[in-house]
Amino acid sequence: MENLEQIDKEYILHTYSRDYIEFKSGQNAKLYDKNGICYIDFTSGIGVNSLGHNNKNLVESISNQAKMLHLSNLFAIPQQAKLAKKLVELSKDKMRVFFSNSGLEANECAIKIARKYGERSNRFEIITLKNSFHGRSIATLRACGQDKMHKHFAPFPNGFLHASDINEAINIASNKKSVVAIMLELIQGEGGVKAMPRDEIKNLESWCKNNDILLIIDEVQSGIYRSGEFLTSQIYDIKPDIVSLAKGLGGGVPIGATMTSKIDIFEAGDHGSTFGGNLLVSAAGLCVLENLESYKKSGNLDNNIKYFDEKLEQICKDNQRIFTHTSGIGFMRGIKTKNDELLFSIIKKAKQKGVLVLKSGNATLRFLPPLTITKDEIDTGFKALANALNEINAEI
């Protein structure tokens, strides 16, 4: 009988370096493989499973909606309208929402809004930052500020400029009349879990408003309470013109959302999505938001973020031969390792000890646990990670 690895290698395009652990079930931050071995999940499907695995409320919501999965966006969808209303209310800003299926689609929509906004003044260029990541379509790939992302797939569409930092972005926009927007992540997920300096972001917001430059904030990974607030933009006390969301919004089902205060830019036919915001994903998204809003109000989210942070700082302090410093905000965290060799060794050994962690750019170990992770699960995960690091320390 063929096993999973054989079938995968024969029939799936090899765009991922696969791990062939065969997971069979999960509960909150715990995953169980086919042999019953338990792993603490500090990855949550790369920031997707915001309510953890097998969340009772989400399972019930999806099950109840399964009797009617999809209509089309030619009809008004009650669940979609309710989800949009909840997103806007939580944003505390006057915005409207377009639903799609992923983060890159949310960013494609953001790019189109900016392009149409700039059309009347013949502006179309968008500035992004070095080490940024905005998706893998041809346009969003070109928007990524990483040279390694631009191999093989040229020619790319024109209209994207890359700046090394926020000050350079402002300088470029000041000297090019064709710039319509600046697009950035407040916490760079693939770029080392690096949080942008708050004073520079506030200055950028003010400068953009004074110069009629749109500010696009990519919160595909950092949004939906990942930072501790609904939007990381709220931590930075800014009101972007456009915000892109995805990952944690569906709790595991594919959904993207683009929120914008430029509510009159698009007209019927300017943009669309067959599956975007359908009955199933909208019901799931609404369940996720209602649960996380309640979880935030209870104080449990903030308390567990604080507890996780204390454990992370301690493990960094205890392993100074391996790590240099921590980074990130909330439950989007990283620890900088001294080199990539150590990074990959940690991920491998941590898995052997029963805890799943991620890599990020710039030799950074990345943590994206479920937002509902418990203190006991945090303790178990960091104990397993400490055991892995003890072995690595003994080898170097």
Domains within the chain, CATH numbers bracketed: 4-54+299-395 (3.90.1150.10), 68-297 (3.40.640.10)
Count the residues in the chain.
Answer: 396
Residue 161 pairs with which residues in a beta bridge?
Answer: 127
| Amino acid 396: pLDDT | 83
Question: 77: Cβ–Cβ under 8 A, 6 or more apart, which residues?
Answer: 71, 277, 278, 279, 282
Residue 111 has pLDDT above 90, yes or no: yes
Which pair of structure tokens corresponds to residue 364? 């950074």
pLDDT tens across 276-292, in order? 999 999 999 999 999 99
pLDDT for residue 95: 98
What does the alpha-carbon distance between residue 214 and residue 125 come to, in Å, rounded to a whole number?
11
Give yes or no for residue 1 having a pLDDT over 60.
no
Tokens coding 200:
């520079």
Rounded to an integer, the average pLDDT of 329-350 is 97
Choose among 106, 339, 366: nearest CA to 245: 106
Longest CA pairwise span in the chain (Å): 66
Tell me: pLDDT of 93 over 90.
yes
Nearest Cα to Cα of residue 320 among 395, 389, 388: 389
| Angle (deg, nearest 10), helices 279-298 and 56-65 | 160
Confidence (pLDDT) at 2: 72
User: pLDDT over 70 for what percent of the chain?
Assistant: 100
pLDDT per residue as tens digits for the range 214-238: 999 999 999 999 999 999 999 999 9
With beta carbons less than 8 A apart as the criterion, state whether 283 and 308 touch: no
Quote the pTM value: 0.96
Q: Is the pLDDT of residue 33 over 90?
A: yes
Q: How far apart are CA 39 and CA 29, in angstroms?
A: 8
Q: Rg of the chain over CA atoms, in angstroms? A: 21
Q: Which residue is associated with the tokens 């071995």?
A: 37
Mean pLDDT of 52-62: 98
Mean of the per-residue pLDDT values for the chain? Answer: 97
Asked whether residue 206 carries a pLDDT value surpassing 70, the answer given is yes
pLDDT of residue 86: 98
**pLDDT tens sequence across 115-172:** 999 999 999 999 999 999 999 999 999 999 988 889 899 999 999 999 999 999 999 9
The stretch 253-257 carries a mean pLDDT of: 98
Task: With cut-offs at 50, 70 and 90, classify the pLDDT of residue 75.
Answer: very high
66 pLDDT higher than 80? yes
